[in-house]
């Protein structure tokens, strides 16, 4: 589990985002068992109440489910998984749009640069050399 926590955002929100990214990319598969709240708190060196809050929120969003005393698992609901992926993509697109609009880049120029750089390694992209 490789979460890089920052000091800007609440930790439980960062934990939820991490799980969303892992679900959206298929690293965490539908029905897969996840660490207990206590195990997560120990791994990340966070307060157990923070781990509990993150799990509670993920259960409310339908990202995970817990049946009885069994370990929590990733949702099997394909609609929720698709929604999570779309949510992350839209967030990235909106951030990108705000960035390019702030420096007056035209849509055509942005699309051309995206096409040119999309399949390159991030370290090889224009402006990073």
pLDDT at 78: 96
Could you tell me the sign of the dihedral formed by the alpha carbons of 30, 95, 54, 27, in that order? positive
CA distance 97 to 93: 6
CA distance 110 to 129: 19
pLDDT at 124: 65
Task: Give, for all 129 residues of the chain, the pLDDT tens digit.
Answer: 788 888 899 999 999 999 999 999 999 999 999 999 999 999 999 999 999 999 999 999 999 999 998 999 999 999 999 999 999 999 999 999 999 999 999 999 999 999 999 888 766 665 554
């Amino acid at each position: 589990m490789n979460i890089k926590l920052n000091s800007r955002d609440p930790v439980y929100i960062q934990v939820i985002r991490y799980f969303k990214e892992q679900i959206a990319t298929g690293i965490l598969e539908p029905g897969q068992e996840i660490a207990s709240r206590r195990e997560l708190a120990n791994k990340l060196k966070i307060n157990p109440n923070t781990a509990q809050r993150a799990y509670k929120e993920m259960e409310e969003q339908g990202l995970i489910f817990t049946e009885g005393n069994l370990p929590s698992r990733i949702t099997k609901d394909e609609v929720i998984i698709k929604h999570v992926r779309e949510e992350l993509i839209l967030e990235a697109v909106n951030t990108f749009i705000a960035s390019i609009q702030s420096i007056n880049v035209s849509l055509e120029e942005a699309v051309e640069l995206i096409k040119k750089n999309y399949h390159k390694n991030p370290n090889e992209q224009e402006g990073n050399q």
